[in-house]
Amino acid sequence: MVLAGGEVDSSRKRFSYDGEALEEDAPLSDSLGMTAGPGLRFFGEVSVTCRSEDHSGTATATTARFYLPPQLVAYRTTRSGFCGVRVPKSKLDKWLQAGQYADVEYFLRYSAGSLIRRGVPELRQIKLFARGAGVRKRAAPDRSMLNQLGAIGTWMNPRRSGTLRIWATIGGKKTNKLPVRVLPKRC
């Protein structure tokens, strides 16, 4: 049994698998287990070759594809301000306040080999989104955050309290959404 690493969405090109390893050597029968990171399309391919004295034959079959979307694992604020509210220390890097600027860092997990188009810089293919609490944002990662902190993120200024939802796209593929609490404006 031969297990192919994945397949790029529209171009149907195979790429080498750059994630975790197979759990064991490929068996001649039964199933094969493996762990994989987000942002990959997988399929299994079986090739059988029979040879005898008189003739030989080959057959190949491919399984259905399985897609693991990219993930927004976590976020944190690298710089934010609070005015007139008490925020627990454990939430200083998780909550925002209406009317206060904040830099938000996105922690993303994805496979660049399957999601990023060749010839286009990787950073140009990542878009960061935020909706809710008076924010409608679609932006490329902030270059100053990348230069100063080595982080992928962007700034935002929520206009009202509520829940802000953040997510990203990598090569056009959408991640999950995470909720961010926005406290009311007090000053």
Where among 44, 68, 92 does a domain terminate? 68
Residues 31 and 99 in one domain: no
Which tokens sit at 186? Answer: 């007090």
- CA gap 165, 132 in Å, rounded: 6
Statement: residue 7 has pLDDT above 50: no
End-of-domain residue from the set 68, 94, 122: 68
Residues 130 and 159: their CA atoms lie apart, in Å, by: 13
Q: Are residues 117 and 172 in the same domain?
A: yes
Specify which residues 42 forms β-bridges with.
Answer: 66
What pLDDT sits at residue 61?
A: 79
Q: How many domains does the chain have?
A: 2
DSSP letter for each residue of 32-46: --B---SSEEEEEEE
Locus of tokens 């829940």: 163
Beta bridge partner(s), residue 61: 46
First to last CA, the chain: 66
- Asked if 83 and 149 sit in the same domain, the reply is yes
Q: Are residues 152 and 178 in the same domain?
A: yes
Residues 24 and 81 placed together within one structural domain of the fold? no
Mean pLDDT of the chain: 81
Q: Are residues 76 and 153 in the same domain?
A: yes
Q: Are residues 53 and 9 in the same domain?
A: yes
pTM listed for this prediction:
0.72
Residues 98 and 143 grouped into a single domain: yes
pLDDT (mean) for 158-168: 96
Kindly report which listed range (3-17, 30-44, 47-61) carries the lowest average pLDDT score: 3-17
DSSP per-residue string spanning 68-111? E--EEEEEEEEEE---S----GGGTTT-EETT--EEEEEEEE--
Q: What is the pLDDT of residue 48?
A: 75
Q: Do 84 and 167 reside in the same domain of the chain?
A: yes
Domain membership of residue 46 as a residue range: 2-68
Are 167 and 82 within one domain? yes
DSSP summary character for residue 22: B
Q: What would the pLDDT profile of 41-62 be if each residue is shown by its tens digit?
A: 666 676 777 888 888 888 887 7
* CATH code for the domain of 97: 2.60.40
58/83 same-domain check: no
Domain shared by 40 and 130, yes or no: no
Residue 134 and residue 97 in contact, taking contact as beta carbons nearer than 8 Å: no
